[in-house]
Structure 1
Amino acid sequence: MNNLKEIKAVFLDRDGTIGGDDTVHYPGKFKLFPFAQDVIGNLKENGIKVFSFTNQPGISAGKAATEDFVEELIAFGFDDIFICPHHPSKGCFCRKPNTGMLQMATEKYNLPLENCVVIGDRWSDMLAASKVGCVKILVKTGAGHAALNEHFDKIKDIELEYIAEDLEDAVDWLYQEHKRT
């Protein structure tokens, strides 16, 4: 990808990437980073679809409802929401680092994943992105430092395009790296 016109979509993880920290905060208690909604809006103004893709096993445990997450994330400005509600022990196709959520978006929006970007704070975000050829940007917020330290063995063979301080830095880099022509 040489310019923003080639970027079809950006997939953003929720917890630790757009707000919160390295734990799950359920809808109503989740706080966006101050710049996150502006970043989402700016991407959309540039003609880029912005999707949330998030593992939320608390849904299957009855701690929250899928609809509450969807309502919250749509209010933040996302074009669409992809959620894995399953417990890690279920071995589902959608739970990151599996690629199910990315593939669902591909089918729904006819997206070439090599023209998509994944921004997340966990090793599982980067591994899912790597499996399908997306641009991979790891943010140091949330669990980002753990991904680079305690879980580095899981991503050491993945070439990350950028390691960002936060979501704002990630998208600034994206704009610099992929200027419109």
Structure 2
Amino acid sequence: MKLIILDRDGVINRDQATPIKSPDEWVPIPGSLEAIARLNQADYRVVVAANQSGIARGMFDIMTLNAIHQKMHQAAQAVGAEIDAVFFCPHSADEHCDCRKPQPGMLKAIAQRFDISLKGVPQVGDSLRDLQAAFVVGCKPYLVKTGKGEQTIAKGGLPPGTEIFADLASVVDQLLSSPSAQTR
């Protein structure tokens, strides 16, 4: 099975200064959903892994998060894309849980659910914490310049082996053009 793990805000949809708090605020980055459709056509299972501390901070509730994700799924399906699963951490940084990126718990849960080793699995994010979590569990980290990506590059300290691309569509172009894409 081929698997790819994507952060949500800044990778699939536009990011903003405060958490996405309603379906109206969820706006896809041009080309991101079509990139997911191309991954599906290449037999990738697409999983989203996202920190959602707005729940713990009382900015929105689980019903609102479900509505945001419903909009994401419907928008994906409208272009022939399928997101296989969405994993999220509802905790704030103060709670020191194992599932909030950069901790590896959420990615380990994905590995367990799909019964797969994460060694070499592409993980696409726009922040250092996405890449750190990916690196710890053996995923291949990809940084996109969308969302907080440019700020992440400027700060430096990226995990070894991190590859940098303009956006998700560019990552997918690279993944699908590499000879190893056929064997993953």
- What TM-score results when the alignment is normalised by the length of structure 1? 0.87
Q: State the shift of 1:159 in Å.
A: 1.6
Cα deviation code 1:67-116 (max 9, x no counterpart): 23442343333100000110111000100001111111111110110141
Structure 1 residue aligned with 2:79: none
Q: State the shift of 1:175 in Å.
A: 1.5
- Residues 90-169 of structure 1 aligned to structure 2 (within 5 Å): 90-150=95-155, 152-153=156-157, 155=158, 158-169=159-170
Gaps of 5+ in 2: 77-81
1:136 alignment partner, SS class:
strand
Rate the CA distance shift 1:111–1:179 in 2: closer, same or farther, 3 A.
Answer: closer
1:126 alignment partner, SS class:
helix
Between the aligned partners of 1:87 and 1:140, the Cα distance in structure 2 is: 25
Structure 2 residue aligned with 1:52: 48
Structure 1 residue aligned with 2:13: 19
Between the aligned partners of 2:39 and 2:130, the Cα distance in structure 1 is: 20
Structure 1 residue aligned with 2:37: 41
Gaps of 5+ in 1: 1-6
Between the aligned partners of 2:162 and 2:42, the Cα distance in structure 1 is: 21
Counterpart pick for 1:30 among 26, 33, 36: 26
Between the aligned partners of 2:56 and 2:124, the Cα distance in structure 1 is: 25
Cα deviation code 1:142-175 (max 9, x no counterpart): 111111112x13x2xx223420011111111111
Between the aligned partners of 2:21 and 2:131, the Cα distance in structure 1 is: 23
% same residue = 30
Q: State the shift of 1:22 in Å.
A: 4.8
1:114 alignment partner, SS class:
coil
- What TM-score results when the alignment is normalised by the length of structure 2? 0.85
Between the aligned partners of 2:96 and 2:141, the Cα distance in structure 1 is: 24
Q: Which consecutive aligned stretches of 4+ in structure 1 deviate over 3 angstroms post-superposition?
A: none
